[in-house]
Structure 1
Amino acid sequence: MESAKHAGDAAVAVSKAYGVETMFTLSGGHVFPLYDGAVHEGMRILDVRHEQSAVFAAEATARLTRKPGLAVLTAGPGVTNGVSGVATAHFNGSPVVVLGGRAPRSRWGSGALQEMDHPPLLGPITKLAFTASDAETLGQDVEVAFRTAVAPHRGPVFLDMYMDDLFAPSALHEVETQTPSPLEPDPDSLAAIARLIGEAERPVLVYGSDVWMERAEEAARDFAETWRLPVIPNGQGRGILPAGHDLLVTRARGLALGQADLVVVVGTPLDFRLGYGWFGGKEGAPLAKVIHIADAPSQLATHMQPAASAAGDLSVVFWGLTAACGEAGVKPDHHAAWVSRLAETAAAAVAGDADLLAADSDPIHPMRIYGELGKVLDDDAVVIGDGGDFVSYAGKYVEPRRPGNWLDPGPYGCLGTGLGYAIAARLARPSAQIVLLMGDGAAGFSLMDVDTLVRHRLPVVMVCGNNGIWGLEKHPMRMLYGYDVAAELQPQCRYDQVVTALGGGGELVTKPSEIGPALRRAFDSGVPYMVNIATDPEIAYPRNTTGV
């Protein structure tokens, strides 16, 4: 077996075999051989200013390319700084491999610098967390990490390596990447689901991120169009039906999920974003029957008992359901009145928002920003949300035209994902517009990584909704107690000047008429550019506490 210069070469060679093109990292001596291996193997090294951004970038790479992402973290605080990123990948089911440094085996237990046993910390938020056995078999351990990360249901894997093992000679491991056979769903389960669809008067499909991650977006769209079923997208399911599609009923979400008699949820958990799976019951309607479909049995709901469920490769599920619906005698026009009602409600909601999307109010209403942004976004724009109230508006008013072009933190709700996601998006989609929408609270978590964008020549347009408060907390706290604390930020803080100081561009916008021209300047600049928009702190995003 061919020998490597050191174990770092073996680790990087395996990573490349699994399709990794970029190593995201923050420099640390414990992992120098991994950098040397990247140089030998021609892998790009992209260094950031905080380890959380390295993991967020690796996670966004996995979500945008549907190939595993790689983050390399030095020992001790390097690993602990990346924990929030690993947790986010865990909740999103993102195939990320995090390779960590580890104090030397020869000094273990004697108090070496940054000595820490990482796997017990990472175990609860990974599919697997372990330490490499030795230098000679380190490549095999890295392959185990990647193979585990990409297997259904995908997720992060952590592997740390003793420093002296990494520097030691190692054999190059021969990798045989094999595509696993698709998990076949139970035909009886598909038949039961088809019968329920045929019996329903007011069905709704909910398409989640795993539909995209499973490469099932075409099968999902074909299924909805074949049987004329209305769709509400969730997470990276957005764009499977493009903006303007007659079956896309996002803007009629309240009616759809409140009066449906059957909700088919595919590729996303029945969590707080979906009212924990309790639908219907509005305006005298009975509770809806629920069908849960996932890519693996481990992802099916256990906190409630759906009327039916199925697990398997999601393309195979959709193909099987199409056949089963045909055998069950489902008629595409059976739900026409319901689809028309939802379409009319959605159109009325769009018309009703027109005034606020064009509002000339002073201070600026946050909806005006989205009215202007919609005019300049290309069909292939990647839109990233990192924030609370401000990004909630994005979820409502930014409707992607293609799948795989929307990124938000997902159910873990971790602020600070934005800069890491933007770094990855620019690399993954080099010719597309990359737009990072952030609240002023979220900006405080990761804005220093604008330096990373500048150093690596990665132009991104950042739009900051700057209301000078923690809006998601201030308004509810005032409602509960009549006062608020720990909810104030500096009004009109010049985050744009932070960006310019780091080598990018930016400007503060205080008038509605300035928003559109500022956005156009940002897109034309060719550099990381922030449009910092002062918005009205008295306006809170209208929330439905039920999640429906």
Structure 2
Amino acid sequence: MSTSTTAGHLIVAQLERAGIQRVYGVPGESFLDVLDGLHGSSIETVVTRHEGGAGFMALAEGRLTELPGVAMVTRGPGAANAFIAIHTAHQDATPLILFVGLIPVADRGRESFQEFDINAWFGSTAKKVVTLDDAASAARVVDDAIFTALSGRPGPVVIGLPEDVLVHAIEAGTVEPRAMARTEPTPSDLAALEQRLAAARKPLLVVGGEGWDQESSEALAGWASRHGVPVLADFRAYDAVPHNSDAYAGYLGYARSDDNARRLDEADLLVFVGCVRADVLSDGYRRGLDAVSVVVNLDADLLGHFGRLDQHIPAHVASFSRALAATASAVQPAAGWLADARADYEKFSSAQPDGGTGVDLAVVMEILKQEMDDDAVITYGAGNHTLWPARYLKHNSANSLAAPRNGAMGMGIPAAVAASLAYPGRQVISVAGDGCFLMNGQELATAMGHGGRFVVLLVDNGIFATIREHQEGHYPGRPSGTHMTNPDFAALARSYGGYGERVDKAEDFAAAFRRAAESGLPAVLHLPQDPATRSPKTASN
């Protein structure tokens, strides 16, 4: 039933009908009518301190829940600041909706205040860019954006909102949200896969992407365990299957073990579930290129896939996992194929003290494994500090990791805010480097304002360590542009009203973590680290 309303209010009503619970954003005069529609709405308006933070929060919500995250920003500078989240959502294949306020229609093409070309800016990194020029179609445009963001290969959709169109009075109502079907693999798809599995001696499952839930994660891991097939995770998709399954053998991509790199080359069958053989996973298009390759992915174009492709199964990861688990597969891997892979993973993920001055992160991670809940959500951005949680922390619950697969710094704190709001009953832990934290650390204020609770492990080594490491390899003895001067991070956290504590020794971490967790506040534990420590040690080095 249609009623008299405005386009801005109808946008909010359609978001409500779709089940959106939060929107993240920085307010702007270009979308005042939408903000007015949010007044009194069931949707919580999370007011962030920077558009980049808003975008990353929406990205994390899209990663961790079944609906796209939603961000709202103003024209020109606001859109520019949010661009990092769109690029991340595009490369990570994560559903996200970005609403961007625009100049009035009559002002277009006149280089008016904060004017920009929304299609030129976002056209190469969004699944769809649309400008709402017809006020009466507001509900349909929103519904289409949600469907597009979730369907096929998930990704970002950008909606431009001319400020004058938003206030047009219209006789229109919401539309029924389109249902998202979880496409099942066909019997012929499964039969062809079964033939390949039966012929393989060294098969590997590689899991990643979006759409996993606890049931499908456990179903796939259970099948793999019963049939002796190792499961490797794509880069920063470490929560796709539970680590307590004896089929889980670690991850591929940056900082992967040498054993898994070798295993990828030795495999005679690779089954990619929810991901593709892309750049990072394959060590720059160099590994695992010759094996028989099956890709289970809803993306018809298989964007990013490189190398051999013998079978494409266009099925949802959850539907495929349950269907495969129900089959009586005849796969018979080589003796010790899974056992050796699991043993290598156990060795690789057992912390060895890093040594050096400052806090030993390997010891901290071992303590943290005992302190964290089994369904804790872990967030981080990009940098060498992420190597420790990626390698040592365990993910036994689906939707328990929010980290940028495209290597964007600054996501960890906004992601922690979003995770704590989306899952108020779950423990949220963010591991942040000093450089990464200071890109969006101001979102601690957002957490304070909206009741977010999480603990940040802030690793402070005073340098951009990843780049410094590259410099040492290519330009030894000539560090340049990688030094940082840092604040007192614990005092900074307290200045926002949160909990802050400096921890100078790893043996003091457990008690400090408990104090931080029990504070009921956004908390920062400041962990000084030896700047010479670049990555975790293994038993062999």
The alignment's TM-score, normalised by the length of structure 2, stands at: 0.91
Q: Percent identity of the aligned residues?
A: 25
The equivalent of 1:459 in structure 2 is 453
1:297 equivalenced with 2:300 (yes/no): yes
1:383 positional shift: 0.5
Q: CA RMSD in A?
A: 2.6
Given the alignment of the two structures, is residue 146 of structure 1 paired with residue 146 of structure 2, yes or no? yes
Q: Out of 469, 477, 488, which is 2:483 matched to?
A: 488
Map Cα deviations across residues 292-329 of structure 1 (whole Å, 9 max, x no partner): 22122222655312243322223343455457x64xx6
Q: How many angstroms apart in 2 are the aligned matches of 1:330 and 1:187? A: 16
Which of the numbers 414, 424, 430 marks the counterpart of 1:430? 424
Range that drifts further, 293-302 or 141-150: 293-302
Report if the CA contact (8 A) 1:277-1:290 is conserved. no
Question: Deviation of residue 223 (structure 1)?
Answer: 3.3
Matches of 1:165 and 1:25, distance apart in 2: 20
Q: Distance in 1 between matches of 2:232 and 2:384?
A: 21
In structure 2, C-alpha distance between the alignment counterparts of 1:532 and 1:519, rounded to whole Å? 11
Query: Counterparts of 1:348 and 1:398 in 2: how far apart (Å)?
Result: 13
Contact 1:388 1:472 in 2 (8 A): yes
Partner of 1:266: 273
Aligned to 2:166: 166
**Structure 2 CA distance for aligned equivalents of residues 421 and 194 of structure 1:** 39
Q: Secondary structure at the match of 2:244?
A: coil
Distance 1:402 1:124 in 2: 34
Equivalents in 1 of 2:120, 2:351: separation in Å?
Answer: 52
Detail structure 1 runs of 4+ shifted over 6 Å in the superposition: none
Structure 1 residues 194-209: aligned runs within 5 Å? 194-209=194-209
1:387 matched to 2:394: no
Give the letter for the 1:94 counterpart.
T
Q: Is the 8 A contact 1:236 1:405 kept in 2?
A: no
Contact 1:238 1:403 in 2 (8 A): no
Look up the equivalent residue of 1:77 and give its one-letter code: P
Q: CA deviation at 1:103?
A: 0.8
> What is the correspondence of 1:157-306 to structure 2 with a 5 Å cutoff?
157-185=157-185, 187-212=187-212, 216-234=216-234, 237-250=237-250, 253-275=260-282, 278-279=286-287, 288-299=291-302, 302-306=305-309
Give, in whole Å, the separation in 1 of the partners of 2:49 and 2:166.
24
> 1: CA distance between counterparts of 2:215 and 2:164?
40
Q: What is the SS of the residue equivalent to 1:458?
A: coil
Distance change >3 Å, CA 354–CA 61, structure 1 → 2? closer
Q: How far did residue 216 of structure 1 move?
A: 4.2
Distance 1:104 1:32, change over 3 A: same
Alpha-carbon distance in 1 for matches of 2:511, 2:265: 40
Q: Equivalents in 2 of 1:54, 1:520: separation in Å?
A: 29
CA distance in 1, matches of 2:171, 2:40: 15
Is the alpha carbon distance of 1:277 and 1:195 closer, same or farther for their aligned partners in structure 2, counting shifts above 3 Å?
A: farther
Give the deviation of 1:80 after TM superposition: 1.2
Which deviates further from its counterpart, 293-302 or 33-42?
A: 293-302
Return 5+ residue gaps in structure 2 as ranges: 251-256
Shift, 1:415, TM fit: 0.5
Distance in 2 (alpha carbons) for counterparts of 1:360 and 1:479: 21
Q: Quote the Cα distance in structure 2 between the aligned partners of 1:334 and 1:478.
A: 43
SS where residue 281 of structure 2 aligns?
helix
Q: Specify the code of the residue in structure 1 equivalent to 2:272.
A: V
Structure 2 counterpart SS, 1:274: coil
Shift of 1:382: 0.5
Corresponding residue number in structure 2 for 1:527: 521
Q: Deviations over 1:199-232 (max 9, x none)?
A: 2222221110235279843543343244332111
Distance 1:47 1:481 in 2: 44
Worse-superposed segment, 401-410 or 290-299: 290-299
Change (3 A) 1:15 1:139: same
Query: 1: distance between equivalents of 2:285 and 2:187?
Result: 24
Tell me if 1:53 matches 2:53: yes
AA in 2 matched with 1:418: G
Q: How does 1:97-176 map to 2 (within 5 A)?
A: 97-176=97-176
Distance 1:248 1:302 in 2: 23
Q: CA deviation at 1:52?
A: 1.0
Deviations 1:426-454 (A, max 9, x none): 11110111111111110120011111111
1:362 is the counterpart of 2:357: yes
**TM-superposed deviation, 1:198:** 1.4
Q: Deviation at 1:26?
A: 0.5
Aligned residue for 1:146, secondary structure, equals: helix
How big is the shift at 1:5? 3.5
Partner of 1:514: 508
Alignment deviations for residues 124-145 of structure 1 (CA, whole Å, 9 cap, x no partner): 1111101112223222222222
Kept in 2, the 8 Å contact 1:191–1:321? The answer is no
Kept in 1, the 8 Å contact 2:96–2:157? The answer is yes
Amino acid in the other structure paired with 2:28: G
Q: Is the 8 A contact 2:219 2:325 kept in 1?
A: no
Shift of 1:361: 5.0
Do the aligned partners of 1:153 and 1:296 also contact (CA within 8 Å) in 2? yes
Is the Cα contact below 8 Å between 1:61 and 1:68 reproduced in 2?
yes
TM-score (norm 1): 0.90
1:42 alignment partner in structure 2? 42
Q: How does 1:367-378 map to 2 (within 5 A)?
A: 367-378=362-373
Question: What SS class does the counterpart of residue 257 from structure 1 fall into?
Answer: helix
Matched letter for residue 135 of structure 1: A
Deviation at 1:270, TM superposition (A): 1.6
Residues 98 and 157 in structure 1, CA contact (< 8 A), matched pair in contact too: yes
Supply the distance in 2 between the matched residues of 1:74 and 1:210 (Cα, whole angstroms).
Answer: 29
Contact 2:459-2:527 within 8 A present in 1 as well: yes
Structure 1 residues 189 and 436: alpha-carbon distance in aligned structure 2, compared to 1, 3 A threshold: same
Alignment of 1:492-503 (within 5 A): 493-503=487-497
Q: What is the rounded CA distance, in whole Å, between the counterparts of 1:7 and 1:334 in structure 2?
A: 59
